Amino acid sequence: MTRNVFVVGMNDLNAERLRRLRGVEDVVFHPLLTSEAVSDTQEFDIPAMLAEAEATLDAFDGSIDAIVGYIDFPVSTMLPLLCKKYGTRNASLESLLKCEHKYWSRKVMAEIVPDHTPTFTAFDPFDDDALSKIGEADLRFPFFVKPIKSSGSRLGFRIDSPEDFDYAIAAFRAEIGQISEPFNYVLDQADLPDDIKAIEGHYCMAERVIGGRQCTVEGYVHEGEVVPYGTVDSIRYPQVLSFFYYLYPSTLPRPVQDQMNEITRKVMAHIGYDNAGFNIEYYWDEVQNKIWLLEINTRIAQSHCDLFEMVDGVSHQQVTVDLGLGRRPDMPKGEGPENVAGEFFYRVFFNDATIARAPSKAEIEVAAEQVEGTRIASYVARGMKLSELPEQDAYSYAVASVWMGAGKQSKLLWNYEQVMKRLNYEFTDIVE
């Protein structure tokens, strides 16, 4: 019997990945909303998106067996609403918001794993006394600020001085409405405690600066059982906050990974999150031998799909689809062609610039052919402004991503250098 799985924001690349999963011979994948509508945009009209998705589902002449997604906001927050209406499996909206609402999430962490939770407070960026109130919460320079709901590393700033805070506040006031207004719509659909209701979508978080070697634990919960299945290292460019590459499997010591997995089980069980994938970002301060929990994301990391396929033999979208269909995920280990895999981010560190030259499709294909199995995604075109790119961090722009595998990490880095020698980007009107 054919089973119908609707995938929010499915594009051609992910449709190919999905067809390569295990146990999907009798599954038909249907796109639900376009990738352009939910991902390649900075406008998030959630009521309109939900109405369009519901119209598609209502018009479908067949069973609706699962509704899934692998994209951050707004998809992650729409899925519980759609799944509840159509009777398909997913985490509850309230358990999801205990992860996605960064203030609520920190409060939960402070209850259950206080030794791994930094000092934090919420603040209103439209309050002229916000900085002094942050100080009253026992936070001193340096600290980190971010929205209570963000996407990627957008609008995240390290604050070392009042001038840094003023710069961040100006950015929050100018841009936070793009996220806060649609997030408030989602919050209005949930049963929230009074103290969380008071922290509306436009609020921000201030937190003690934490650091060390960063990684992401990918996991899922199936019928109450929390299962971490892989750890990916997040390696930054020297001296900046921007990511250089993701590396799988992690090179962290096994006891450190085991402790992170135990923290993961404890936190996710306490939250009551169930029948969905997630990932948790951590730091390991190796000087203090201290593990810090950074944040919880309520979806698999799309960036890690190719890494798992290269090393383990299948994209971890296996987790998303199996859970949506009510199955325990059939996630293999070490069955891929490579020992290690990475996603590299080619970045430029300008405030803005115009792209004077970008590699052609043919040039990208030639570059990818330098190392078998390499995939390259270029995000810019001639004449574009860097500031037009969606979902960028506050310190750089990612103009391309390169996914590749190798037998060991040193070879992986060497391969990346060979590929990038074939790609030529040029910029003009540079704002340093």
Looking at residues 139-166, what average pLDDT do you find? 92
Give whole-number Cα distances, 82 to 51, 85, 118, 154, 240, in Å: 10, 5, 34, 26, 39
pLDDT band at 428 (very low <50, low <70, confident <90, very high): very high
Cα–Cα distance for residue pair 228/277, rounded to 1 Å: 10
Say if residues 425 and 358 touch (Cβ distance below 8 Å).
yes
| Amino acid residing at 191 | D
Per-residue pLDDT tens over the stretch 142-153:
999 999 998 766
Looking at residues 121-125, what average pLDDT do you find? 98
Say if residues 147 and 321 touch (Cβ distance below 8 Å).
no
Q: Return the pLDDT at 152.
A: 65
E-strand stretches of 223-338 = 225-236, 243-248, 276-285, 290-297
Instruction: Quote the pTM value.
Output: 0.95
Q: Is the pLDDT of residue 98 over 80?
A: yes
User: What is the average pLDDT value for the chain, to the nearest integer?
Assistant: 96
Looking at residues 316-327, what average pLDDT do you find? 98
Looking at residues 290-315, what average pLDDT do you find? 97
Cα–Cα distance for residue pair 415/379, rounded to 1 Å: 21
Q: Is the pLDDT of residue 201 over 70?
A: yes
Paired tokens of 49: 């998106």
pLDDT band at 337 (very low <50, low <70, confident <90, very high): very high
pLDDT band at 331 (very low <50, low <70, confident <90, very high): very high
Question: What domains, with CATH codes, occur in the chain?
Answer: 3-95 (3.40.50), 119-208 (3.30.1490), 340-431 (3.90.1170)
Lowest mean pLDDT across 13-27, 28-42, 58-72, 99-113: 28-42
